[in-house]
Amino acid sequence: MLKKLALVTLVAAASISSSFASDKINGAGASFPAPLYYDWAYNYKKDTTNLVNYQSIGSGGGIKQIAKRVVEFGASDEALSTLALAKDNLFQFPAVIGSIVVAFNVDGVADETLKLSNEVVADIFAGKITMWNDKAIAVDNQGLNLPNQKIIVVHRSDGSGTTFNFTYYLTQSSKNWKESFGTGKTIDWATGIGAKGNEGVASLLKQTPYSIGYIENAYKEKNNLSAAILKTANGKWVKATEENFKAAAKYATWTKAEHFYSVLALQQGDTSYPIVAATFILLPREGGDMNKKVIAFYDYAFKNGDESAKKLGYIPLPEETKNMIKEYWTTNIK
């Protein structure tokens, strides 16, 4: 697996500004689904000889690249509204569902033991809670050895759909966060250090004692990091597990008319993990035959890539959603 990912990462690192070969599809954007897209691309080339070159540059970069028609498809973890899609003459459909975890690096505090209420998470990232043994953290963690150490916040430095979904969750969880920071792909952080991509945040967390940050679950698993227990929308403690991700994902509602626009954070249900998000593919409406090549890749992935998604910690789209997407392709991609 490591050799395979390394090979595809080399492909993904190729310059997206180079001239396009007829048998190559170039895409760029969200780091959230990048490990899965690399895996799908490796298997697609092995089975079809067709090359998919994907570069993980963040959702903001992916939107800009497809808007300028630098690449054949963009990828964003922030779903674009019908107005935004119309402005840049784009189509949009989801590719997979993932989850954002609050990961930390505190010696002596194990994975799935630290409880952080959604309000406490917001106050940590707002710079209101600055010490690991703060009373607001300690009250929910009796018996844990919380150190008298400063919390080091790690956040994204680039335009990020992961940031959009995480700050949406914070906005819904905290009046202070809503009024002071709000929701966006980029925000003016009150504290912390920035890193580019989920890759960068995960790496910085791993090497920085007493740090905390938000990353897609696949990066948490790959880097053997620890994740906090959070609260559902119903106020129940819930761990970052596949079962709890699925419990939230089942509430996703999609419509072709709105180009599958959705935000999935804080869904109902006692076991619904609170920060679940879909990631989306953006295509130019005038894409013609190249759009058909992109669709062929994602059609292959939908048929053959569910096990890869599960192994990497993602949630495959339900079959009814895949069928809806295929209808959307038939209607829109000529």
Backbone angles phi, psi at 199, to 5 degrees: -60, -45
CA neighbor of 71 nearest in space, from 284, 299, 285: 284
Bridge pairing between strands 24-29 and 276-284: unpaired
Residue 101 DSSP one-character state: E
- CATH number of the domain located at residue range(s) 100-249 in this protein: 3.40.190.10
- Residue 18 confidence (pLDDT): 37
- Residue 10 confidence (pLDDT): 38
- Residue 217 confidence (pLDDT): 94
Residues composing the chain: 334
Q: How many CB atoms lie within 10 A of CB 63?
A: 25
Instruction: Return the C-alpha torsion angle 244, 60, 52, 328, nearest 10.
Output: 70
How is 227-270 classified by DSSP, letter by letter?
Answer: E-BEE-TTS-EE-S-HHHHHHHHTT----TTTTT----SS-SST
Element (H, E) at 29: strand 24-29
Bridge pairing between strands 211-216 and 230-231: unpaired
Tokens of residue 215, six digits: 């990353």
pLDDT one-digit tens code per residue, 141-155 = 999 999 999 999 999
pLDDT one-digit tens code per residue, 254-282 = 999 999 998 889 998 999 999 999 999 99
Q: Are 129 and 136 in contact (CB under 8 A)?
A: yes
Tokens of residue 303, six digits: 């048929």
Decide whether 2-99+251-263+277-332 matches 100-249 in CATH topology.
yes
- Residue 262 confidence (pLDDT): 87
CATH superfamily of 2-99+251-263+277-332: Periplasmic binding protein-like II (3.40.190.10)
Q: Are 274 and 249 in contact (CB under 8 A)?
A: no
- Residues 6+ positions from 78 with CB-CB distance below 8 Å: 59, 63, 161, 164, 165, 185, 280
- Residue 334 confidence (pLDDT): 74
- Residue 252 confidence (pLDDT): 84
Partners of 99 in the β-ladder: 276
Q: 102: alpha, beta or left, given left = phi > 0 and alpha = psi -120 to 50?
A: beta
- Residue 287 confidence (pLDDT): 87
Q: Cα(first)–Cα(last) distance of the chain, in Å?
A: 37
Q: Where are the domains of the chain?
A: 2-99+251-263+277-332, 100-249
Q: Which stretches of the chain drop beneath a pLDDT of 50? A: 1-22
